[in-house]
Amino acid sequence: MTRQPGTKGLIFNEPNVWDKSREGRCAISLPRADVDRAPLDPSLTGEAPNLPQLSELDVVRHYTRLSQWNFGVDSGMYPLGSCTMKYNPKTNEVQAARQGFAGAHPLAGDEFSQGALRLMYDLEKYLAEITGFAGVTLQPAAGAHGELAGMLIIHAYHAKQGKQRSKIIIPDTAHGTNPASATLCGYQSINLKSGPKGILEPEAVAAVMDEDTAGIMITNPNTLGLFEEHIREICDIVHAKGGLVYGDGANMNAIMGVVKPGKVGIDVLHLNLHKTFSTPHGGGGPGAGPVAVTEELIPFLPVPRVEKELDSFRFVSDCPESIGRLHTFYGHFGVMVKAYAYILSMGAQGLLDVSRLAVLNANYIKESLKGTLNLPYDRPCMHECVFNDAHQKKHHITTMDMAKRLLDYGFHPPTVYFPLVVEGAFMVEPTETESKEDIDQFIDAVKAIAKEAQTDPEKLTSAPVLPKVTRLDEVAAARKPCLRG
Amino acid sequence: MTRQPGTKGLIFNEPNVWDKSREGRCAISLPRADVDRAPLDPSLTGEAPNLPQLSELDVVRHYTRLSQWNFGVDSGMYPLGSCTMKYNPKTNEVQAARQGFAGAHPLAGDEFSQGALRLMYDLEKYLAEITGFAGVTLQPAAGAHGELAGMLIIHAYHAKQGKQRSKIIIPDTAHGTNPASATLCGYQSINLKSGPKGILEPEAVAAVMDEDTAGIMITNPNTLGLFEEHIREICDIVHAKGGLVYGDGANMNAIMGVVKPGKVGIDVLHLNLHKTFSTPHGGGGPGAGPVAVTEELIPFLPVPRVEKELDSFRFVSDCPESIGRLHTFYGHFGVMVKAYAYILSMGAQGLLDVSRLAVLNANYIKESLKGTLNLPYDRPCMHECVFNDAHQKKHHITTMDMAKRLLDYGFHPPTVYFPLVVEGAFMVEPTETESKEDIDQFIDAVKAIAKEAQTDPEKLTSAPVLPKVTRLDEVAAARKPCLRG
Amino acid sequence: MRYLPHTQEDIREMLAVAGSPSLDGLFDTIPDSVKTKHGLNLPEPLTEWELNDHMEKLASENIACKGYTCLIGAGSYDHYIPAIIPYLVSRSEFATAYTPYQPEVSQGTLQGIYEFQTMVTDLLGMDIATASHYDCGTALAECALIALRKNRKANKIAVSDLVHPSHRQVIETYLKPTGYEMVLIPHTARGLTDTAALEAMADIAGVAVQSPNFFGHIEDLAAFRKIADSKKILFITSFTEALAWGVLKNPGSFGADLVAGEGQSLGIAKTFGGPGLGLLAGTSKLMRDLPGRLVGRTKDTNGQDGYVLTLSTREQHIRREKASSNICSNNGLNAMTAAMYLSTVGKIGIREIAQLNHDKAVYLRSALTAAGFTPVFDSPFFNEFVMKVPEGFKKKRADLIHRHCLFAGLDLTPFYPELTDHYLFCATEKISRQQMDQLAKEVA
Amino acid sequence: MRYLPHTQEDIREMLAVAGSPSLDGLFDTIPDSVKTKHGLNLPEPLTEWELNDHMEKLASENIACKGYTCLIGAGSYDHYIPAIIPYLVSRSEFATAYTPYQPEVSQGTLQGIYEFQTMVTDLLGMDIATASHYDCGTALAECALIALRKNRKANKIAVSDLVHPSHRQVIETYLKPTGYEMVLIPHTARGLTDTAALEAMADIAGVAVQSPNFFGHIEDLAAFRKIADSKKILFITSFTEALAWGVLKNPGSFGADLVAGEGQSLGIAKTFGGPGLGLLAGTSKLMRDLPGRLVGRTKDTNGQDGYVLTLSTREQHIRREKASSNICSNNGLNAMTAAMYLSTVGKIGIREIAQLNHDKAVYLRSALTAAGFTPVFDSPFFNEFVMKVPEGFKKKRADLIHRHCLFAGLDLTPFYPELTDHYLFCATEKISRQQMDQLAKEVA
Ligand SMILES: Cc1ncc(COP(=O)(O)O)c(C=O)c1O
Ligand SMILES: Cc1ncc(COP(=O)(O)O)c(C=O)c1O
């Protein structure tokens, strides 16, 4: 077995930032006051907020030390299923930081924002081409926000048809945001079981689809990493009953240049720029969740829309059928810049290669580990594969134990206990930017851990031992919430 | 005792960069070839150098992991005596990175380099003001290079007097670069013992100073952190015999706004911008070692010089008495930008405060630890104080053991075994940017370690245990040198 | 391509293991009828160097690249950002991590966000702050939904017409499919939300007021608290300029139940409007109704302090259709940025900078008044205010943009059609007296 | 001041412990006669924001800020720098560390520099490379001193007059006080160092030849090796364009004893000439004569691989006056940068980029020839070459600068007075065909 990456090193304890505070310090360079003081009426003013008082070095050291407690894609392999933790190119950051973009005021006026408008217009075009749809909005601030946009569009569509519907079909493999987004539109979620092959069966859809059902939310490839082979039939069934098909495109990384969701019957699709299009996740965002729709649904897209006239661009808001505004301004423009830079860097062949290699990596892991971990659905997968802890149960070892032990080996664990259809799911998405050597190392690690599960289970149940902290008491955290210092 | 910063965390093993290489990878974006290939005559071409072949993520991960094995000022207190490891302001980096500076070609011509020339001209002025000298050159690339420049100036001065001299007086407290620089000018170093108070005694200087001695190299404050109180008499003695006084200004951080070396009889002085003037040390440079001289020595300064005419600036090289050129171009301009930004940010009062607080921090440590560690020279110190391991000897604990143990406590150790006049020297320079809390923590750590030396010496002799590697075999490294992979 | 590590040999070996004859073969489970016949039609890929040129060209088509002077606020503010912040937040351990699902290797993010939550509660005087939301508009919409859901009897939410126009539109978008309704509270001649009008409103589940409001005026939040109490409804306040709380009485001191705010002013670049930072805070009573992530303090198996995501039983990944919201990813890195900013300015800095903003705004307002502008409202303001502009200002304003890259205020007509010739001005700590004097001279 | 953490209370408490009544009291050991009476006379301190404006103004007084086209090399080259490099090298663990005196917490720097040494030896075909020197000029001067010290009989060093003029001046500066002497080897009509002239030279301790030389020509290093052997002297080669070794036969393959080079081309910005990167390599035989730091591989007490500074018995901090050199700090962070660059370009990239440089230079040379310039020398070159310019070029060149910010070559007269109207041109991978065609058109 090659040497594993995880090892121990010197890092630093660091108290809460206010514990370092001393009365009188200030880490910011205070601008010179060149006008008279204009005191506000005392009835309006309050105490200054009790923020920490530090020197500049205190601040730098505090956050430098905190950063060293974190694991990022730059630190090591991060095969977090359903999250597409691929390399985030540094050049994208350079592009987004350009003064012309970072310094732009959203209300400077179209005339003075042509660069930003052109970028948004072209990015919409590129995403439309990649997904096979007629129209795209970049406004949603994240995937779930995109789902909401999509649900609102479906809701507006049915309203326009004159009869609103009350239900929406959601497969058991769906991400939690799907039903939650449907609920926001007042739709009742109808849970649909996937078939024995881990994908939806047209009959099952037909059985529940009716005139009171607004449509279906399908993630394709689904969260088992399997392609919904019957997507066309399913779309036909739903359409036949007047419903619409929502596509969760969070897994688009598997099929760029291979399948265009817009061409197979899907009506609305959201993308995660912070997954497929390489923008960093930032420890929880900001991301962006553009939504693509068919010609017929374009009128419902949120406002403002970006339009082109001759060679100049403008925002347009008088769209009577639009679902309205979803963001204070135009969405996460800074994220759009990075995705745009990524698409221009990759080109058509590059994006196709991305999907091919992402799928290759996942299948390579699936085949290499299926003897070691139980593989509930033993079929060719797309960009990710889902194992579980069935083989380890007899040693009283859970998926969580294996995940925590992986930390000691120097890998970020896969997504665990999702999707819910697989008990003890261990969901591996390597992404295309991981090299064969790093993947082989990961495979070795999982095998070694599976061996430990038999020979030395303690090693797993007491894992992790290398990180700054050991397992944390989440139950206590929730029972007596302490949400502020 | 407050909680100490040192703790263990997850970091990553990383092989040598070539071990990750795979035939066919390339991490750079290759520029498009828009002209015909023009093959060189095969007799001139060789194999492509066998450089590692990686993906961009491989490179990013490699150096990210390596960085996490390092300790910097941003990581924690770095009280390395004689090195002035103060906070390196981030804004300085922003200034040096401006396209107008970073992109400037050295031979673009004066007319097109006015910004750079103006900056150099003004920085020379400011350094002259701070040191009390008439002229300054920014050309030396580091402190030792500045010493060489200074020695060359002294050598040229004596040559001009018509009689070269053969010796130079160097106190036993001097930094190794002092005698080494003197040697480069063919001067024989005359070692001078400092007196019982840790400073030079005029009589001692008088005893060795003669007409064949070019002068003396004095570090003031000296490397014991003590101010050479007799500096004036010493300068007079040396001058009386026709010698010149060289000042090693590496310790200027102690006396800005308090003493102007140029006003007390010193003839030539070098500064370390990467110490006193906050430019980062970069794990070994690049730094800069400007040299300041008296009116009389200005003609000897290296060329080119920056001169001002009306409001425009130019390089001047026809200086017949100049020692010549010391650097291919003008020295480390990028470092000059940072020092210039620092001086403008601090101002006169700020620099005075820097020295006052640097001296305050050192004396606070000296008084707090002198019961714990032996203090060979128990006198008010300047910016640093030198202890040794005399008290620990009986437990067979050395300065090195204490230094290594400090690593486990999360502090960078002080400078050890220098200056040579103190056996087992433990040389602490906190600098002004360390807060009282961090210093108190350091004091607690040293006290705890001194206690461990008595109760649990093993803890020291086997230290460090937290860093990625334990003590390294330097003897083997030198006996069978392996200098390349 | 430099992002793709696979050598031809790697691909061969891996295909063999994967049991596929070719890369295309990996997609055999996809019916041909579903596959696209004619790949992707995208521009030729650019090298890193071509990309730099292309992007700089685009960026230069935005006025911002010229380093313009911005006297426009209206939800996006032009403040100084210390050099340490972009450096620290760009450290890849922060930037390239996912949501902290594995707390043992996410303590940096978790402690940082816990400190963010704490500092936001300090800033706003509230019990609890979430780990962030998308922006103020979406946070405010979530607050409205909370109020409506908690109130079985009423299905209307009263919203001041001086809440940022975009925020009101976002609320509408969120409410449209729910059957809930937003009713607008008009404003008075003093540019303040009309309390009397609110008094008169029946079966409303909550009231939302922005302060400083869209005109920049400081609302009398105490009055709204009183009315909310009398109606037994939730009191929601919002704000777009977070720095105001460096000097103004905070929402908590007026007993706000929920606060939605925009945190862009806290060290985040304007970036053409996003990503900003949605701040969302509430009282302990509403803890389980709050949307999105919360970080809590706990202990590890060695009794050491540590942090985790907590109370996730509110969230979509556990509760699915019964979740309090559908939010998953939030604006975490911008929350971290704001935490860094708040730690940098500290108690002294935020007070001084807030006061400076007000000082400059007062100076600008009187300078413009002297130049013939009419101060329309006489209510106290923070760093924004409305002025009626003299004849021919529109043209002068255009000139100022072209000659000095100075944006003199925002035309209010698109937002309040009745306010023709009214402009909203904003002054921050970045505007110098000299710039303001020059402006006044040019427009006089 | 934000860099100074001390509160008034801190100062009071610390003074009490330090036993001083006041901050001034701390300096009581300094005689009053030595203290300055009238503090420092410096400009008022600037805020971070004023500093930004001031520095941008200064920077904008340099042509570079306009993003100019640079057809000048002569020791400072205009190459692409990948975005990952500034990011990685600015990580504070690298940038804010000191020389790795404590190896246990400096393994990042140490392994990085060990890898640098290794890649440099690969690039140059030499046994050993040091951890870096200041620049090529100072490294070359050190090489000359080594040769002179090792040769008891001779006290002259022969240096080609096509070694960079500044480097020759630096050698002179270093030799002046030593009694050693530098003798120049003239060049031939083909712009190559005159081997015959060298043959004729007596009692020289070593010979130094630059290839590609200052005119850009590739010298016949084999010939110099032969002569050096016949004279039993050390053979030193130098270079200013490190990328040349991506395609040319390296110095080691010709048996160079010592190599001094400039590494600025390896990912380091031109920065008005410094800091660059001094490369210094030698044969194992000369290991103990090399100046400056060396990193070596060793084991820790657990038998784990690790790295340390080694062979320090050569160095000033141990040997003091007997040290092989006085160098202490070197250009470490730039060495790390170069290592990152070499890892990024790799075997494929360096070859391709080197070839591109040559391709463009050949194209430019023929374009200019077609435009009426005279190619003066017919020797093979890498990416620089000399041309005699037509009447009135000086003025056209000035126009090009003002109109297109294009710098068309370097006037050689200041360096070689006999070469009036001769210019040294350089083309790198950054110059586009279109730019070269335009240039040719404008100067025709
Ligand atoms: C399949 C799927 N859908 C939707 C989402 C929600 O995306 P976001 O977190 O950007 O709201 C995710 C994110 O994990 C996902 O994996
Ligand atoms: C007192 C003293 N003089 C000179 C030097 C040499 O400076 P540099 O390392 O920049 O050559 C140092 C550096 O440690 C020093 O401490």
pLDDT at D157 over 80: yes
pLDDT at A2: 63
What three-state secondary structure class fits C182?
strand
DSSP D288-304: GG--S-EEEEEEBTTS-
- What proportion of chain D, given as a percentage, has pLDDT over 90? 95
Residue C190 to residues C217, C227, C248, C411, D362, Cα–Cα distance (Å): 9, 20, 19, 19, 75
Quote the mean pLDDT of chain C: 97
**Amino acid sitting at position A13:** N
pLDDT at B40: 98
Q: Measure CB to CB from residue C271 to each of A64, A104, A484 and give the nearest one.
A: A104
Measured CA to CA, the distance from residue B283 to residue D113 in angstroms comes to 10
| Binding site membership of B88 for ligand 2 (Cβ less than 6 Å) | no
Distance from CA of D415 to the nearest CA of B (A): 12
| Binding site membership of B221 for ligand 2 (Cβ less than 6 Å) | no
pLDDT in tens, C87-115: 999 999 999 999 999 999 999 999 999 99
The complex scores an ipTM of 0.98
pLDDT at C230 over 80: yes
pLDDT at D315 over 70: yes
pLDDT at B1: 52
pLDDT at C317: 85
Q: Report residue D429's pLDDT band, with 50, 70 and 90 as the boundaries.
A: very high
**Contact assignment for C5 to B26 by CB distance below 8 Å:** no
- What proportion of chain C, given as a percentage, has pLDDT over 70? 100
As given in the structure block, the two tokens for residue D77 are: 């080259």
As given in the structure block, the two tokens for residue D49 are: 């924001």
What's the gap in Å between C328 CA and the centre of ligand 1?
7
pLDDT at A350: 98
Residues of B in contact with A15 (CB under 8 A): 3
Interface with chain C: mutation pick from D1, D46, D48, D348, highest number of C CBs within 10 Å = D48
pLDDT at C324: 84
| Binding site membership of B253 for ligand 2 (Cβ less than 6 Å) | no
Is residue D148 within 8 A of residue B76, CB to CB? The reply is no
pLDDT at D67: 79
Q: How many CA atoms lie within 13 A of C372 on its CB side?
A: 11
Distance from CA of B68 to the nearest CA of D (A): 7
Is residue B225 within 8 A of residue B214, CB to CB? The reply is no
Residue A146 to residues A84, A387, C171, Cα–Cα distance (Å): 17, 29, 16
**Who's near B168: CB < 8 A, 6+ residues apart?**
B151, B154, B182, B187, B188, B189, B190, B213, B214, B215, B216, B217, B246
Q: Report residue C315's pLDDT band, with 50, 70 and 90 as the boundaries.
A: confident
**Who's near A240: CB < 8 A, 6+ residues apart?**
none
pLDDT at B2: 63
pLDDT in tens, C273-306: 999 999 999 999 999 999 999 999 999 999 999 9
Residues of A in contact with D50 (CB under 8 A): 32
Q: Measure CB to CB from residue D48 to each of C82, C87, C430 and give the nearest one.
A: C82
Q: Once rounded to an integer, what is the mean pLDDT over residues D356-366? A: 98
| CB atoms near residue A411 (< 10 Å) | 27
pLDDT at D313: 86
| Binding site membership of A82 for ligand 1 (Cβ less than 6 Å) | yes
As given in the structure block, the two tokens for residue C8 are: 């031809």
Phi, psi of C181 (to 5 degrees): -135, 145
Report residues of chain B scoring pLDDT below 70.
1-2
What's the gap in Å between B68 CA and the centre of ligand 2?
27
Q: Once rounded to an integer, what is the mean pLDDT over residues C166-188? A: 97
List b or e across A160-187, with b for residues whose CB sees 16 or more CB atoms inside 10 angstroms: eeeebbebbbbbebbbbbbbbbbbbbbb
pLDDT at D438: 95
**Who's near A452: CB < 8 A, 6+ residues apart?**
A405, A459, A460
Q: Measure CB to CB from residue A283 to each of C94, C328, C380 and give the nearest one.
A: C94
Give the pLDDT means over successive 10-residue stretches in chain A (485 positions).
87 97 97 97 96 98 98 98 98 97 97 97 98 98 98 98 97 95 96 96 98 98 97 98 98 98 98 98 97 98 97 96 98 98 98 98 98 97 98 97 98 97 97 98 98 97 97 96 96
- What proportion of chain B, given as a percentage, has pLDDT over 70? 100
Nearest CA to ligand 2 atom 7: B143
pLDDT at D152: 87
Measured CA to CA, the distance from residue B48 to residue D246 in angstroms comes to 5
Q: Could you tell me which of D330, D347, D354 has the C-alpha nearest to residue D113?
A: D330
pLDDT at B455: 97
Residue C67 to residues A44, A194, B322, D56, Cα–Cα distance (Å): 34, 56, 45, 11
**Amino acid sitting at position D418:** E
Q: Could you tell me which of A250, A247, A285 has the C-alpha nearest to residue A81?
A: A250
What's the gap in Å between D137 CA and the centre of ligand 1?
57
Q: Could you tell me which of D320, D326, D367, D409 has the C-alpha nearest to residue D72?
A: D409
The answer to whether the Cα torsion of A208, A209, A215, A216 is positive or negative is: positive
DSSP A311-323: TEEEEE---TTS-
